[in-house]
Each structure stands twice: as structure tokens, then as C-alpha cells.
Amino acid sequence: MTLKDTQDFLYSQISTEDGEEIIRIFNYYIENSDAAFLESSVTISFFEQLKPLLEHYPNVAVWESYGNFIGFGLMRPHNPLPAFKQTVIITYFIDPGYTGKGIGTELLQILETKAREKGIKTILAEISSRNEGSIRFHEHHGFTIQGRFIEVGIKNGIPFDTIWMQKNIHCQ
């Protein structure tokens, strides 16, 4: 099921067939950046852990019009208690060869629309303090910094803070 098409990109629900491509892109960010918190590459079993979320929370896969898988985004619960059912954490990763082309903005817009349809009112983003590009992206798209946990993570022996950003979407 296609959610949205542009001239160059197709946006659809993530399917089980997307697992290997999602892992490929996620592993790139694990191995080459501070965008993913993990230090070691993951296998397809990591995607298997995500699959239950795909049934209940907004998600989107991005394909180039001629078939290359180039990114994904998904939401997951902030907290499993019913009191927090209207709040999610957002995650997205785009093949590095396709960043800066507006795909992240499209992903975010699609995920926000789907979230509103599910009654979600608040989106949170947890970002490494060393991922300044993501912090700027989220600020540019209406997220505000709500908190910072100092040196709570270590990746490749280097401590980092986590920045928590929030966007309320129920008023938009």
C-alpha cells in the first residue's frame, strides 16, 4: 500500500520484506556515526524484534522510484503504561547517499499524519549530543529541547549525552 508518491520516491508501510534493507541502513549508522546508539552491527533478528511495533505504530519505508530501498521511519511507545499511550518516540534513518534531499522531512510529515490518525499527541526524539545534524533537523521541524541527560551513554569509549526533544502534534 503506497502512502505517498513523489516524482522520485515512493513512501509505503514497512513490510516484512524490508527487513534486510532496514538492517543494512541501520548498520551503516551504527558503524559510521553517532546517530545510532549501538556499537556493533545487528542481524535480521533485530528487525524481528521491531515487527510487533509495525502492527500498532506509524511506520514508513522509502523507495526510489526505480526500486532502491533508501530509508525508513517508525514510532514506538515512550512507555508501555496506558497513561502514556498518546506519546511515542520517533526513529528514522536514510541511506547516506540520499540525505539532504527532503526525504527526512517527508518521512516526518507522513509519520505525523499517521500518528494523529491514531490519536497520538506527542512525539519524542532521543538524540545523541554528538549528532548535531539531527538536533538541528528536529528544531527546524518544530521540536523543542526538553532535557539533557549528561554522559549517560558511551559509544566506542566516548561518553555522550542524550538530548530529549518534543513536538506536540494535537494542536496542529
Series of mean pLDDT values for 10-residue runs along the chain (172 residues): 62 94 97 95 94 93 91 96 96 94 94 96 98 96 98 96 96 58
Would you say residue 146 lies in a domain?
no
Would you say residue 171 lies in a domain?
no
Judged by DSSP in three states, 104 sits in helix
Residue 143 backbone dihedrals phi, psi, to 5 degrees: -85, 150
Question: Domain count of the chain?
Answer: 1
Model's pTM, two decimal places?
A: 0.92
- For 26, residues 6+ apart whose C-beta sits below 8 A from its C-beta are 36, 42, 46, 93
Would you say residue 156 lies in a domain?
no
Count the neighbouring beta carbons within 10 Å of the beta carbon of residue 8: 14
- Element (H or E) spanning 110, and its range? helix 103-117
Q: Count Cα atoms within 13 angstroms, Cβ side, for 105.
A: 10
Domain ranges, residue 30: 2-125
Q: What is residue 172's predicted lDDT score, i.e. its pLDDT?
A: 54
Would you say residue 52 lies in a domain?
yes
